[in-house]
Amino acid sequence: MRHIPRKRFGQHFLVDDSVIHHIVTAIDPQPGQPVVEIGPGMAALTKPLLERLDRLTVIELDRDLVVRLQRNPQLNVVASDVLLVDFRQLSESLGGQRLRVVGNLPYNISTPLMFHLLDAIEVVQDQHFMLQKEVIDRMLAQPGTSAFGRISVMLQWRYAMERILDVPPEAFDPPPRVDSSVVRMVPLTEWTAVPQPLLEELVKVAFSQKRKLVRHTLGKWLEAKGFAGTFDVQRRAEEIPVAEYVALAEALHKADAV
């Protein structure tokens, strides 16, 4: 029986074989690796992944699809909302290895999921995701561009990222109303360790009024915290490089520790 895509789950199933082949080739899964697929849907990526793996863990919320997936003895099926999955615990259950996370992600959870995985980045080897092209544009955006924002800063702080390919709507059933892209995300081996909640708060405040100079937002926030250092607040949030946001969070953290 054909599965009818459900709008509430944001389901758009990938059906283009050439795109599927390109994605699997880019992932290059190896036998024995702990690969986790988010939202396997109708198994378009699942099947070619299993051709290269002994076993695959899949995370699926749709109960009808879960039943289908559970029939495959090669699959470890996690029936859950992915935003509720503890990836550290999942890594432990798979032998403590760092996870390779892949998926054609529902557009309605893409940004929350990026932050959810950021919380567990220490157990992740890499991530390959199909996302709305606009989201990936923002993830990869550079300072001084209109696409540069909160998600750009937070993800570039911890990941090296690159666009693998762009995917048109007709590669899906049903076709979405937006273009898609595939991104590779690899955790950085060298990064400045600052408390993630502090950096998140700082960046959220800075971008709360993008059209204004940050003296109206971040500047007042820094004053309220009694920040005694120097920071140029005569700029818009999108003009400030990632490294400067991170350095400011580091200075605040060190000041609090004194």
The verdict on whether residue 90 carries a ligand-binding annotation is: no
The verdict on whether residue 12 carries a ligand-binding annotation is: yes
Distance CA 194, CA 249 (A): 7
User: 224: buried, middle or exposed (CB in 10 Å: 19+, 13-18, 0-12)?
Assistant: exposed
For 17, 42, 91, 148, 213, the CA distances from 173, given in Å and listed in that order, are 13, 11, 32, 31, 44
- Cα 31 to chain centroid distance, Å, stands at 24
The verdict on whether residue 223 carries a ligand-binding annotation is: no
Strands 159-167 and 180-187: antiparallel
The verdict on whether residue 60 carries a ligand-binding annotation is: yes
The verdict on whether residue 76 carries a ligand-binding annotation is: no
The verdict on whether residue 104 carries a ligand-binding annotation is: yes
The one-letter amino acid code at 151 reads I
């971040």: which residue's tokens?
Answer: 218
Query: Binding site: residue ranges?
Result: 12, 14, 39, 60, 81, 104
Query: Binding site for S-adenosyl-L-methionine: residue ranges?
Result: 12, 14, 39, 60, 81, 104
